[in-house]
A and B are shown apart, each in its own frame.
Chain A
Amino acid sequence: MKNEPLTAVLQERPANRIIANCLVAVASVVLCVLISPTRLPGMELAGIGPNWLLIWVVAWSVKRTVVQGALAGITLGLIQDGMTAHAPTHVLSLMLVGILTARLRKERYLKEDFISIALIVFAMAVVAETVTAIQYSFQGDRSLVEIWTYHQLIALSSAVLSSLWAPIVYYPLNRWWQYMYTLEQQS
């Protein structure tokens, strides 16, 4: 990013940086939330679209601590609960995704690029849908066979689509956070 006036404004005062950071985070979350109910052509597979909130949680947690990942998961989980239904809750699945993503030893196993992000999102989508399926199994108002055959369909399509669309969320956010990091180092 070579935007001189922006850099100057952001470098001047740390408060500006914090405000800009918050704005970017909130705007990206709102964008992910608003795109969740849509099923754009080319973005769905058997009526199932990408899990945008999960992609955001993964993008956030990749370079952050476990606590930060978990908090992001809880926050977005609560929002998704509000948009669908309170039971089974999405807080558990997204929190687990945040924790696991933050715990991954990326520097050891995976190099920092799109492919590794897509892989993490793929695995995390499967984990998240499995957590939801387990909650349904405990709830007991559907038969286990029904839940787990549906789980196969959802987990696979959601994992494939989410991992394909993950870079769209990850790339700009990562660029922004890197830019912020360099500014922090300079000042």
Chain B
Amino acid sequence: MFTLRRWWDRYRLPTVLTGLSLGVALFLRQSEGAILYETYQLLARPFQPNVERRAVLENAQILELQQRLTELESQNQQLRSLLGYVGETKKTGITAPVVGRSADHWWQHVLLGRGSQDGIRKGSIVMAPGGVVGRVTSVTPNTSRVLLLSDPSSRAGVTVSRSRFMGYIRGQSSNQAVMEFFDKVPDVRQGDVITTSSLSQLFPAGLPIGRVKSVNLSKSPAPEAIIELTAPVSFLEWAIVYPHRQAQAGKALN
């Protein structure tokens, strides 16, 4: 008892400080660093690109193409409604600046400067000029962390837009991803457009992802293709977040 008492008198302060720091660290781990990211967002605010001005500066041709696309989409919607097909209505996105990247080197994350206060939820889809870039994996009131499609742990069901052959893609930590096909002899060529498939639970169907760069049909166990992501994931400056509920995929099937 006495030795314990003497030990305590001698090491009281280091023990308390160690316990305190470990406790704080554990809290930060369990809360997924929410406080840290909020502080980061607060400090990084003056350096963020001005999203509103950027949107205005987009050149006229893109606007024209977008308008044509909107026209075609609405025509498509009308034709579908004539056929009796009930699709989901188009949702408006939340524009968010990219304020940071992953805090270590193995993960392909980006940090967005908008969070749950602006309506971003876990599982929301993140698009950039060019196509899908990833989905939100955690949110704090003013920031959200996005797992990019280029992360090796990120998988998505995709389809070849032209021939409707399906497979899934796996990130390669760069601007490329590997697509593995479900069929032994898929009809796929260099330059084919790849979009998310209707079997994907995490992403809504029909969003553009990339183009086929090369095909390896002799690959075992399944044929593979190298996909070049159209969105510039390595130098994103802003992104648009669309809400997406994963349960919807199951509902649509029923």
Interface residues of A (CB under 8 A from B): 18, 22, 30, 33-34, 36-39, 47-49, 51, 71, 74-86, 88, 90, 129, 132, 136, 141-142, 146, 150, 154, 158
Complex Cα spacing A4 to B109, Å: 47
Complex Cα spacing A154 to B103, Å: 13
Residue contact A154 to B106, C-beta cutoff 8 Å: yes
Q: A71-B22, A74-B22, A146-B152 are in contact. Are A82 and B105 (CB under 8 A)?
A: no
Closest chain-B Cβ to A33's Cβ sits at a distance in Å of: 5
Across-interface contacts of A83 in B (CB, < 8 A)? 28, 32-33, 36-37, 103-104
Q: A71-B22, A84-B104, A141-B153 are in contact. Are A34 and B43 (CB under 8 A)?
A: yes
Counted as pairs of residues, one from A and one from B, with CB atoms less than 8 Å apart, the total is 95
Residue contact B101 to A47, C-beta cutoff 8 Å: yes
Among residues 4 to 63 in chain B, which have CB atoms less than 8 Å away from a CB atom of chain A?
13, 17-18, 21-22, 24-26, 28-33, 36-37, 39-40, 43-44
Complex Cα spacing A75 to B26, Å: 8
Cross-chain contact of A74 among B25, B37, B107, B153 (Cβ < 8 A): B25
Residue contact A75 to B33, C-beta cutoff 8 Å: no
Closest chain-B Cβ to A81's Cβ sits at a distance in Å of: 5
Cross-chain contact of A150 among B28, B33, B173 (Cβ < 8 A): B173
Residue contact B106 to A132, C-beta cutoff 8 Å: yes
Residue contact A85 to B25, C-beta cutoff 8 Å: no
Could you jot down 28 A-B contacts, CB within 8 Å? A34-B43, A36-B103, A37-B40, A37-B99, A37-B101, A37-B102, A37-B111, A38-B100, A38-B101, A49-B105, A51-B105, A74-B25, A75-B24, A76-B25, A77-B25, A79-B33, A82-B36, A83-B28, A83-B37, A83-B103, A84-B103, A84-B107, A84-B109, A86-B29, A146-B152, A150-B106, A150-B173, A154-B106
Cross-chain contact of B29 among A22, A39, A82 (Cβ < 8 A): A82
Across-interface contacts of B109 in A (CB, < 8 A)? 84
Query: For the complex, is B216 an interface residue (Cβ under 8 Å from A)?
Result: no
Closest chain-A Cβ to B168's Cβ sits at a distance in Å of: 13
What 19 new A-B contacts, CB under 8 Å, besides A39-B101, A82-B30, A141-B152? A33-B36, A33-B103, A34-B40, A37-B37, A37-B100, A38-B100, A49-B101, A78-B26, A79-B28, A79-B29, A79-B36, A80-B103, A81-B29, A84-B103, A84-B109, A85-B107, A90-B104, A132-B106, A154-B105
Across-interface contacts of B111 in A (CB, < 8 A)? 37
Query: For the complex, is B234 an interface residue (Cβ under 8 Å from A)?
Result: yes
Cross-chain contact of B18 among A71, A142, A146 (Cβ < 8 A): A71
Across-interface contacts of B39 in A (CB, < 8 A)? 30, 34
Residue of B nearest to A155 (CB): B105
Residue contact A34 to B36, C-beta cutoff 8 Å: yes
Among residues 91 to 128 in chain B, which have CB atoms less than 8 Å away from a CB atom of chain A?
99-107, 109, 111
Closest chain-B Cβ to A88's Cβ sits at a distance in Å of: 8
Complex Cα spacing A78 to B32, Å: 10
Q: A18-B13, A37-B111, A82-B31 are in contact. Are A75 and B21 (CB under 8 A)?
A: yes
Complex Cα spacing A29 to B173, Å: 28
* Residue of B29, B101, B152 ringed by the most chain A CB atoms within 10 A: B29
Cross-chain contact of B25 among A22, A38, A75 (Cβ < 8 A): A75
* Residue of B13, B100, B105 ringed by the most chain A CB atoms within 10 A: B105
Across-interface contacts of A38 in B (CB, < 8 A)? 44, 100-101
Across-interface contacts of A80 in B (CB, < 8 A)? 103-104
Residue of B nearest to A158 (CB): B105
Complex Cα spacing A150 to B103, Å: 17
Residue contact A84 to B102, C-beta cutoff 8 Å: yes
Complex Cα spacing A158 to B104, Å: 10
Closest chain-A Cβ to B39's Cβ sits at a distance in Å of: 6
Across-interface contacts of B31 in A (CB, < 8 A)? 82
Cross-chain contact of A129 among B21, B36, B99, B105 (Cβ < 8 A): B105
Across-interface contacts of B24 in A (CB, < 8 A)? 75
Type the 1/0 row for B131-169, where 1 means its CB is closer than 8 Å to any CB of A: 000000000000000000000110000000000000000
